[in-house]
């Protein structure tokens, strides 16, 4: 019960615009520096080089979402293009993740798609794959529509499907052949559209993974749950899935020992590396997933 209240609190706080703005002035406090790889490109590059040296591949997220003006969205687009250029210049083994709300989807759909064209043109030039992060349910259909439009021109773009949504099995079937990141889901959703029980979410995630793997589509399995990972290993073994067809993905700063274990077992492990000043919403969702981290968050705040 307490865990559920704590989760709801952090998810609610993550959407507070005033706190998000204030957090940009705080710097990486509240313990966020443990899970956010710096507030600038230079700091991020250093961390990714270390991860690549250790054998991990990465995907970068220049943090930001829910912009309120076209000027903010254009600035975010420019920052993302600079991130792509940094990947190429520094020869980082990394992909890129973006959020459509950061690029103005709530302001003007056509404007947002134009920003995505600019990003994907640059990514294509440098042969970098781009994943469109899935956000809350209100953006799900819109995100898939934008993806379909972009895929008419670009094959270096995919998206994320969240296992807690009832619609996800059909979505994965519809997206056969497109590289997907499959996750449990990190937003607070109504029981009219999403499973609320962890067991049901876990089973649905495994179903999505199996459907996409058996369709011979590239599958990124994003979870820190070692029990689910063990079950995925069995699915891969029983169905003779090539190791080139999937990867495990985990967040920067979480379950480092498990990341290293999977790497040592010969699996491809991709670390999702967020960076930037707009870290607050991302970090609050991580605390919602793991409420026990509140103690270390407060320690990080008061130690400054």
Neighbouring CB atoms inside 10 A of 50's CB total 11
Catalytic residue among 181, 270, 285, 286: 181
DSSP secondary structure code for residue 58 in this structure: E
- Which residues in 138-268 belong to E strands, given as ranges? 157-162, 180-183, 219-222, 246-251
The answer to whether 88 and 109 have CB atoms below 8 angstroms apart is: no
Report how far residue 157's alpha carbon sits from residue 154's, in angstroms, rounded to the nearest whole number: 7
The answer to whether 136 is a known catalytic residue is: no
Catalytic residue among 39, 61, 133, 278: 133
DSSP secondary structure code for residue 169 in this structure: H
> Which residues are within 8 A (CB) of 199 and not within 5 positions of it... i.e. 6 or more apart?
none
Q: How many helices (H) and strands (E) does the chain have?
A: 12, 8
The answer to whether 252 and 35 have CB atoms below 8 angstroms apart is: yes
The answer to whether 29 is a known catalytic residue is: no
The CA-based angle 288-76-55, given to 5 degrees, is 65
Report how far residue 224's alpha carbon sits from residue 272's, in angstroms, rounded to the nearest whole number: 12
Active site residues: 133, 181
């Amino acid at each position: 019960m307490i865990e559920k209240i704590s989760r709801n609190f952090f998810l609610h706080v993550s959407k507070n615009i005033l706190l998000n703005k204030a957090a940009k002035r705080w710097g990486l406090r509240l313990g966020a520096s443990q899970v956010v790889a710096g507030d600038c490109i230079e700091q991020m590059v250093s961390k990714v080089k270390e991860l690549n040296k250790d054998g991990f591949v990465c995907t970068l997220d220049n943090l930001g979402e829910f912009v309120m003006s076209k000027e903010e969205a254009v600035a975010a687009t420019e920052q993302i293009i600079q991130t792509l250029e940094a990947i190429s210049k520094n020869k980082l083994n990394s992909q890129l993740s973006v959020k459509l709300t950061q690029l103005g989807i709530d302001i003007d759909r056509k404007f947002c798609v134009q920003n995505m064209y600019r990003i994907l043109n640059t990514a294509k030039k440098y042969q970098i794959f781009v994943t469109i992060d899935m956000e809350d349910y209100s953006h799900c259909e819109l995100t898939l529509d934008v993806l379909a439009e972009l895929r008419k021109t670009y094959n270096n773009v995919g998206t994320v499907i969240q296992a807690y949504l009832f619609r996800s099995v059909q979505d994965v079937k519809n997206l056969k052949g497109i590289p997907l990141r499959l996750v449990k889901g990190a937003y607070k959703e109504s029981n009219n559209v999403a499973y609320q029980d962890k067991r049901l979410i876990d089973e649905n995630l495994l179903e999505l993974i199996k459907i996409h793997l058996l369709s011979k589509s590239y599958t990124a399995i994003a979870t820190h749950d070692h029990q689910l990972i063990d079950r995925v290993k069995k699915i891969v073994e029983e169905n003779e899935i090539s190791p080139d067809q999937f990867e495990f993905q985990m967040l920067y700063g979480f379950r480092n020992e498990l990341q290293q274990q999977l790497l040592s077992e010969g699996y491809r492990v991709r670390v999702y590396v967020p960076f930037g000043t707009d870290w607050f919403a991302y970090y609050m969702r991580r605390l919602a997933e793991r409420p026990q981290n509140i103690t270390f968050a407060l320690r990080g705040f008061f130690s400054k």
